[in-house]
Structure 1
C-alpha cells in the first residue's frame, strides 16, 4: 500500500536547523515572528500555552508533542503563573548546554525539547502546503524519545551525522503524522487520508501516478457521484482532485529530472503522459520552462 506521507517527507529532504533542551520556571513568554522553519516541541514536564496567530490558545501538558510544519508567528508561555502583560523572555544558555527561562538557580517547573528543521527540496513550499498546519499528539512516548535522539545526534561529531539526522527527522515527522489522535480540522493531506472515501483515492493516485485518472473514475472508486466527490475532495484536501494530481505528477517529474537518471520519455511514461511531447507541454505550462531546459539548469547550479 502506498504511503503518501512517506513519499512527501522523503522528497522534502528535512534538515535540522537546531534543537535544544529548555528549562523554565516562574512566569515566561517567548515570542517568535516570521519563522519559515518547521517547529516541533515535546513537553517533558509541567504545562505551557502555545498560541499560534489566528488560532485558539493550546494548553500542552507533560507527554504532549506538537508539530507545526510552517510556523510564521507564535507565542509560548507559562500557564501557572501566567505571564504579565507585555512580558517577553529570552532563553539563556547555561554551561551545561541547557537553555533556561526565568531564574537560573530555581527548580524548573517546565521542561521541553524543542527544535526547528528546514527542507532542502526546491518544491518545499508546494509539499508543505499538502501537510496540516499543526499536529498535536498526546502521551506518545516514542516522539519524545525520537526528539531526544535527534538532539543528541545533531550536537554530536560522529561519522555520518548529517545522514543520521536526516533519517531521524524523517522518522520523527512521519511518526508525528501517524500518531495524531484525531483527523486535522483544517484541509490538507492528513485530513484527506483520514477520510473513508477520500483516503483510498489519495493512496491510489500516489500508488499509480501513471494511470489516466479522470474525475468520474475517481468518483466511482470513492463510491460517490461526480459532483459529491469533487466537492468533498476540494473541501477536505483543499484543492480540486485533478489539481492535486497535476501538482503531484509535476513534483515527481521535477525530482526525477533533478536526479538525471531517467530520460524525458521514461519520466513522461511514469507520470501518466502518453508521449514526451504531451509531457513537455504540460511541464512547460506548469513550471515555465521545458523539461530539457529545466534539467540543464539544474546541472549548471
Structure 2
C-alpha cells in the first residue's frame, strides 16, 4: 500500500521555516499597535491576560493566554488593549519604553501588566517562499492546544531566565512552535482566506490534493483530479479555485516547479531526471516550462542560486 502523503507537511518542509524572537511585551491601560511591515511574517503568543487582534475585513478577535497567531504575509492589522485605546497608538515616532527586565511596555508604564505576549517574525529559507506562503491562510489562529501552550511557556521561561545559550535554545523552541502552529492551526472563521489549509479542510478536495502531492509526475488533468475528489469536472474546478485560491492545474504546476527547484539545488539529480520526477516527458519540455515559470532555464537558475554559496 502506498504511504499517505501530507501536503501541508511537504509545504512546510519546503518552506524551511525559522522563527526570529523579537521581544517580550506587556500592556496596561489603553494601547494600540498598528503593524504594516510588507512581506514580513508575524507571529504572536499570548502568555497571560488578554488583548484584541484587529484584522482588516474581519471582526475583532479576543486573544487570551495560550493563543498563538501567525500571519504568514503581513498586511494591515493591529493589536490593542481590551479597552478602547482612544487614539493612543504606538508607532516608529512613538516607540514603547523598555522596562529594566528587557520587556517592552505598551500603555501605562506604572500600572500592573494586564497582558503579556511574545512577538517576532518568521523567515523562510525556500527559494519559492512567496508561492508557498500564498498557499497558507492570511491568519492562522491556534487556541486550546496544550502542546502549543507548553511551548509558549518554555519560550517565555527561557527569555526570563537569562541562562547560557539562551538564544540558541529559543531559536529551536520557536522553530518547533511555528511548525506546531501550522500543523494544528487553521484559517480563522468562515471568512478565512483561500489556501492550502482551507482546501485540506474540504474532504473531497483533500483527496485530490493528496494525490497530486503523492504522485506529482502523474499525467494529471482536471478530469482525473475531479474523479479523485468524486466530483464532476466543473464542480471540482470551481470548488478547488474557491477554496485553494488557484485553479487545479495552476496549483499542480506551481507545486511541480517548487519541487524541481528543490531537487535542482540539492544537485542530486540532473535536469533530465528532475524532469521525470516532476512529470515531464523530456528535459527539453521541462526546461521550456521551467523557463516560463521562473524566468530562466534550470542550469542558469542553479548557477545563480549556488554561486554566492560556493564563493563563500
Taking structure 1 as the reference length, the TM-score comes to 0.89
- Shift of the alpha carbon at 1:251? 0.8
In the alignment, what sits opposite 1:19? 22
- Does 2:253 align with 1:246? yes
- Does 2:195 align with 1:174? no
- Does 2:146 align with 1:141? yes
Q: Is the 8 A contact 2:41 2:122 kept in 1?
A: yes
In the alignment, what sits opposite 1:85? 87
Change (3 A) 1:90 1:145: farther
- Shift of the alpha carbon at 1:232? 0.8
Q: Is the 8 A contact 2:15 2:125 kept in 1?
A: yes
Q: 2:8 & 2:63 partners in 1: Cα distance?
A: 25
Secondary structure at 2:203 match in 1? coil
In the alignment, what sits opposite 2:165? 158
Deviates more, 1:238-247 or 1:6-15: 6-15
Deviates more, 1:173-182 or 1:62-71: 173-182
In the alignment, what sits opposite 1:187? 194
Question: What do the CA deviations read for 1:223-247 (whole angstroms, capped 9, x no partner)?
Answer: 1111111111111101010100000
Residue correspondence of structure 1 range 161-240 to structure 2 within 5 A: 161=168, 165=171, 168-180=173-185, 185-240=192-247
- Shift of the alpha carbon at 1:64? 2.0
Secondary structure at 1:41 match in 2? strand
Q: For 1:44, which of 40, 47, 51 is the aligned residue?
A: 47
- Shift of the alpha carbon at 1:47? 2.0
| Equivalenced residues, count | 298
Q: 1:174 & 1:6 partners in 2: Cα distance?
A: 9
Q: Is the 8 A contact 1:138 1:181 kept in 2?
A: no
- Shift of the alpha carbon at 1:193? 0.4
Q: 1:248 & 1:150 partners in 2: Cα distance?
A: 34
- Does 2:79 align with 1:76? yes
Change (3 A) 1:127 1:269: same
- Shift of the alpha carbon at 1:168? 4.1
Secondary structure at 1:36 match in 2? coil
Q: For 2:278, which of 271, 274, 281 is the aligned residue?
A: 271
Q: CA RMSD in A?
A: 2.5
- Does 2:287 align with 1:280? yes
Deviates more, 1:141-150 or 1:53-62: 141-150
Q: Is the 8 A contact 2:34 2:89 kept in 1?
A: no
Change (3 A) 1:228 1:38: same
Secondary structure at 1:5 match in 2? helix
Q: 2:187 & 2:286 partners in 1: Cα distance?
A: 39
Secondary structure at 1:22 match in 2? strand
Change (3 A) 1:251 1:90: same
Query: Please, which runs of 5 or more residues in structure 1 have no aligned partner?
Result: none
Secondary structure at 1:93 match in 2? coil
In the alignment, what sits opposite 1:94? 99
Q: 2:27 & 2:295 partners in 1: Cα distance?
A: 50
Change (3 A) 1:183 1:111: closer
Change (3 A) 1:226 1:70: same
In the alignment, what sits opposite 2:10? 7
Query: Please, which runs of 5 or more residues in structure 2 have no aligned partner?
Result: none
In the alignment, what sits opposite 1:108? 113
- Shift of the alpha carbon at 1:156? 6.9
- Shift of the alpha carbon at 1:121? 2.1
Secondary structure at 1:51 match in 2? strand
- Shift of the alpha carbon at 1:169? 4.4
Q: 1:183 & 1:20 partners in 2: Cα distance?
A: 25
Q: Is the 8 A contact 1:92 1:100 kept in 2?
A: yes
